[in-house]
C-alpha cells in the first residue's frame, strides 16, 4: 500500500468559488483572483480543515467509459500539473463543471476551494497535488467582544474545523492510470447525491491490495448471507461458521490464493462452484476486476470484519456469540414444539 505523508504539505495557490444549486436557479459565482490567507495561524487551521479527514488506505483513480482523456476533471488537473499558470482559469472550469452536476434539489450550495499543494510525500517521493473541497454545512458561532465595562455578543456563520463535506486530493503520480485520488463525501449519501463520485469526478477504486481484500470479503459475505440460503437449507449456525472461517482466513494469511481460500472456507465442491459463479457474475455486473491472488490488507480486513456478524439472535431473550466450532452447538425441538440450542463447552469464565 502506498505510503502518504502530509505533515510538511504547503499551499502554493488557492482560489474560492461559490456553487449554487442549478435546479433552484441559484448562480455560480467565480473568483478571478487567488484567495488570501491572513496569517500563519489561520493557515494551520485551513490545512487542518482540508486534510484531517483523509485516510490514506482506499485510493481511487479517474476513469471514463470511452477513454481516460475524456474525463473532464482528469484533463483539467493534468493541464494544471503541466502548466501551473493556468490555475485560475482551469479552477473556474472545475467550478462550472460542478455547477452543471448540481441539478438535484437536495444538493446543497456551498463554497468550492481549489488548492494546488506542494511537498506531499507519496511513496517516499515529493509530488504536487490538487485538492478540490466543497463546504456545504455552515454553522452559527458566537463572538464575544470585551468593552471597557461589559461584553458585546454577536453571531456569525462558518465551517466547523472537524470536517469538510466533500473533497478529493489528486496526487501527481501514475498519470497514465488516472492518478491516485483520495476522496471524502460526508453529506448526502443517498443515491441521487452520488454526483460527486460518479458524475463530477468519475472515479473508481484502484485495483490494489486494499480494494482487492475489501471486495473479496464483501462478495463472500453476500454469497453466504444472500445467495447460499436460496440454494441450500442452511442453518444460521452454519452461515455464521462460514463467515467466521472467512474472517479467520483473511486474518491468518498474508496473501490471498483463491483456490486455497475456497477449499479452506467452503470445502464442499458444490458450494465452491456456486461461489465461483456468484463471484464472476457479481464482478461482471459491478465492473470489478477479478484477482485470484493478492497481498492481504490488514486495514481492509479490520474494516470489513465489523460487518461479519457472528451473533445468533433468539427472539428478544438471548444473543449467542459464535466464534468457534459449530459442532459444539446443537439445534433441536422438544415435545411441546419449543425450539432450543444445546451448547457444549469445557471451561466457564
Query: DSSP states of 10-60 as a string?
Result: EEEEEEEEEE--GGGTPPEE--SSPPPP-SHHHHHHHHHHHHTT--TTS-E
Instruction: Tell me what pLDDT residue 333 has.
Output: 67
C-alpha span between 268 and 42 (Å, rounded):
62
Same domain for 246 and 333: yes
Mean pLDDT across the stretch 236-257? 89
Q: Are 299 and 56 in contact (CB under 8 A)?
A: no
C-alpha distance across the termini of the chain, in Å: 40
C-alpha span between 331 and 312 (Å, rounded):
12
Domain residue limits at 74 = 4-205
Domain end marker among 157, 173, 205:
205
Q: What is the largest CA-CA distance in the chain?
A: 86
287: DSSP letter: T
Nearest 10 degrees: Cα torsion 120, 121, 122, 124: 160
348 belongs to a structural domain: no
Q: Are 139 and 157 in contact (CB under 8 A)?
A: yes
Instruction: Tell me what pLDDT residue 71 has.
Output: 97
Q: How many domains does the chain have?
A: 2
Same domain for 163 and 109: yes
Same domain for 292 and 272: yes
- Return the higher-pLDDT residue of 186 and 227: 227
Write the pLDDT tens digit of every residue in 51-95: 998 988 889 999 998 999 999 999 999 999 999 999 999 999 999
Domain end marker among 205, 232, 265:
205
Same domain for 17 and 166: yes
Same domain for 194 and 213: no
Write the pLDDT tens digit of every residue in 181-222: 999 887 655 545 578 988 999 999 998 899 999 999 999 999
Whole-model pTM?
0.78
C-alpha span between 276 and 63 (Å, rounded):
27
* DSSP bridge partners of 110: 19
| ∠ CA 147-149-152, rounded to 5° | 45
Contacts of 281 (CB under 8 A, 6+ apart): none
Please give the helix or strand (H or E) that residue 9 lies within, else none. Answer: none
Q: Are 131 and 113 in contact (CB under 8 A)?
A: yes
126 belongs to a structural domain: yes
Instruction: Tell me what pLDDT residue 1 has.
Output: 63
- Bridge-based pairing of strands 125-135 and 255-257 is unpaired
89 belongs to a structural domain: yes
C-alpha span between 329 and 342 (Å, rounded):
6
C-alpha span between 254 and 273 (Å, rounded):
25
Same domain for 278 and 158: no
C-alpha span between 260 and 290 (Å, rounded):
16
Amino acid at each position: 500500500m502506498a505510503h502518504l505523508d502530509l505533515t510538511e504539505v504547503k499551499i502554493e495557490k488557492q482560489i474560492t468559488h461559490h456553487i449554487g444549486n442549478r435546479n433552484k436557479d441559484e448562480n455560480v459565482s467565480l473568483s478571478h483572483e487567488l484567495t488570501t490567507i491572513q496569517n500563519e495561524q489561520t493557515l494551520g487551521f485551513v490545512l487542518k480543515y482540508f486534510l484531517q479527514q483523509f485516510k490514506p488506505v482506499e485510493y481511487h483513480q479517474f476513469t471514463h467509459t470511452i477513454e481516460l482523456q475524456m474525463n473532464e476533471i482528469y484533463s483539467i488537473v493534468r493541464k494544471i500539473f503541466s502548466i501551473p499558470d493556468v490555475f485560475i482559469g482551469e479552477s473556474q472550469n472545475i467550478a462550472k463543471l460542478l455547477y452543471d452536476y448540481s441539478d438535484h434539489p437536495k444538493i446543497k450550495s456551498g463554497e468550492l476551494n481549489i488548492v494546488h499543494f506542494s511537498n506531499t510525500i507519496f511513496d517516499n517521493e515529493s509530488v504536487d497535488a490538487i485538492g478540490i473541497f466543497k463546504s456545504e454545512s455552515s454553522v452559527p458561532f458566537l463572538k464575544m467582544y470585551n468593552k471597557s465595562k461589559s461584553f458585546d455578543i454577536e453571531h456569525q456563520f462558518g465551517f466547523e474545523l472537524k470536517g469538510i463535506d466533500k473533497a478529493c486530493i489528486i496526487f501527481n503520480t501514475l498519470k497514465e492510470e488516472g492518478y491516485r485520488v483520495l476522496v471524502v463525501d460526508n453529506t448526502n449519501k443517498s443515491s441521487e447525491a452520488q454526483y460527486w463520485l460518479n458524475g463530477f469526478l468519475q472515479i473508481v477504486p484502484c485495483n490494489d491490495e486494499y480494494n482487492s481484500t475489501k471486495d473479496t470479503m464483501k462478495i463472500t459475505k453476500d454469497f453466504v448471507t444472500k445467495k447460499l440460503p436460496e440454494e441450500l437449507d442452511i442453518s444460521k449456525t452454519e452461515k455464521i461458521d462460514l463467515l467466521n472461517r472467512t474472517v479467520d482466513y483473511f486474518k491468518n494469511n498474508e496473501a490471498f490464493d483463491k483456490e486455497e481460500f475456497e477449499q479452506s472456507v467452503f470445502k464442499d465442491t458444490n458450494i465452491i462452484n456456486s461461489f465461483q459463479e456468484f463471484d464472476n457474475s457479481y464482478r461482471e455486473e459491478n465492473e470489478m476486476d477479478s484477482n485470484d491472488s493478492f497481498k492481504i490488507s490488514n486495514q481492509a480486513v479490520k474494516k470489513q470484519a465489523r460487518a461479519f456478524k457472528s451473533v445468533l439472535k433468539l427472539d428478544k431473550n438471548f444473543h449467542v456469540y459464535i466464534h468457534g466450532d459449530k459442532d459444539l452447538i446443537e439445534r433441536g425441538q422438544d415435545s411441546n414444539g419449543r425450539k432450543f440450542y444445546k451448547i457444549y463447552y469445557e471451561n466457564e469464565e
